[in-house]
Amino acid sequence: MKQRVNITVGMILCTALFFVLGGVSPAQVASPAATPPAGSVKAAPAVQIRLAEKSIKDYGTIEVTGTAPPGDPVYIEVWSKDKIRASYFDSKPDKEGKRPFIMYSTKQMPAFYRIFAPTTEEKTLEAMESQGKKWSCPLVLKHSGAREAFIEPECMAIKRSHASLLGSLFGSHGRPLPAMTSAQDDKWAMAFIKNRSGLVGNLIVPDVKTSPSGTFSAKIIVPSGAPAGTYDVRAIAAPGVESRQLTFTDKVVLPYVYLTVAGISINVFYPFILTLIATSFAMLWGGGGGAVLNPVIVMLWPISPMVVAGTVLPTVIFSQASGIYNFSKIKFINWRLGICIGLAMLAGAFIGPQLTSFITVSQFKHVFGYILLFISLMMIYQTTPWYMSRNTKEQAIMQEFRNKAQQQTA
């Protein structure tokens, strides 16, 4: 009995020493958890936002509602999480007349980006849209009040290098230049967004309706051809006063196909019909259809010439192989001349892709348009009676080909 009493007393003494030496009192152990100091609990954001839907198919409209501090204008920033590559070759003369020849590039361009502004900015944006393609992104953001909502593009990592035409022929992107300042990053982020948007209406849409109590609503319109995947949405009422990010998804289903390199979705039915017609006519003069397909695709869809050239090039193999087989059956192929031309095409096929980074879509349309115009005028000229009457040799060659074709098909 005495032994049990001694053990109990010893345990009590050890416990008392633990609390004394450890700096913890029994009252503290028994008391409930202390209340955290004021300000340590994260308060809810001043701007609240809600989405009526979480997903759409191919394209559609999602209604956005929320609350903000009364009297503050509300802007809604929407962008896709999917990123694409973008580049810009700056060759415009500066104030001293020197051309910089600097290549700006990024791999973090949002495939879709749009800002929804208050409806009160509608007249301001209409005035900016009247400038056509000469509008300035910094001025549009400033005068519409959307500058503080231009957040996501400023996160793009933009690299620059001093490029040269000769170096590009050998696959060089030039000498890397030092990192830019924050102001320079913002400037080129706006330049990339402008090139991607094209028009003011594709960048800023005046659709946010606000009330004196601070409630607001808007309709996010995801157009046909928008990228697939996840989109982020947030509302901004003032610098630093913004909502949490919400997300929704755009699911692309057949006949639409998402082009990850271009950042758009297209209905595959239309390229199929276009390719069928273009290739049928191109085979008449020994082409693969690319000369017709490339400019038409650039004209109909917002795809860069680099992506179009890279996409169409492998497909030409099918038309060329079929054409070689059929033309060889009727003995219309001169293999010696074909080998000589093929060597030149091999060199041109190496140089051409290296030059695509140095031209914009508008420059591509101008140059390619003039080339096709010249070719078409020459072909029309060669069908005139005046030309045919003076080219007896060409007539004899064409008649010989007709005779061979008839003999092979007989």
Q: What is the pLDDT of residues 65-87, one digit of tens each?
A: 999 999 999 999 999 999 998 88
What is the pLDDT, as a whole number, of residue 353?
65
Indicate whether 3 pLDDT > 50.
no
Indicate whether 2 pLDDT > 50.
no
Indicate whether 198 pLDDT > 60.
yes
What is the pLDDT, as a whole number, of residue 272?
87
User: What string of DSSP letters covers 38-76?
Assistant: TT-SPPPPSSEEEES-SEEESSEEEEEEEE--TT---EE
Pairing of strands 246-251, 55-57: parallel
Separation of alpha carbons 76 and 221, rounded Å: 12
Separation of alpha carbons 346 and 102, rounded Å: 28
Alpha-carbon 141 to chain mean position: 20
Dihedral angle computed from the Cα positions of residues 341, 343, 346 and 351, in that order, rounded to the nearest 10 degrees = -90
What is the pLDDT, as a whole number, of residue 310?
75
What is the pLDDT, as a whole number, of residue 126?
94
What's the average model confidence in pLDDT over 16-26?
44
**In the block, which residue shows the tokens 């650039």?**
298
Indicate whether 124 pLDDT > 80.
yes
Q: pLDDT higher for 6 or 162?
A: 162
Cα-based distances in Å from 129 to 84, 113, 166: 26, 18, 39
Greatest alpha-carbon pair distance for the chain in Å reads: 137
Query: Percent of the chain at pLDDT above 70?
Result: 77
* pLDDT tens per residue across span 365-410: 777 778 878 878 887 887 787 777 777 766 776 777 677 767 766 6
Alpha-carbon 271 to chain mean position: 20
Q: Residue length, the chain?
A: 410
Cα-based distances in Å from 7 to 3, 20, 256, 266, 389: 6, 20, 81, 84, 129
Indicate whether 89 pLDDT > 60.
yes
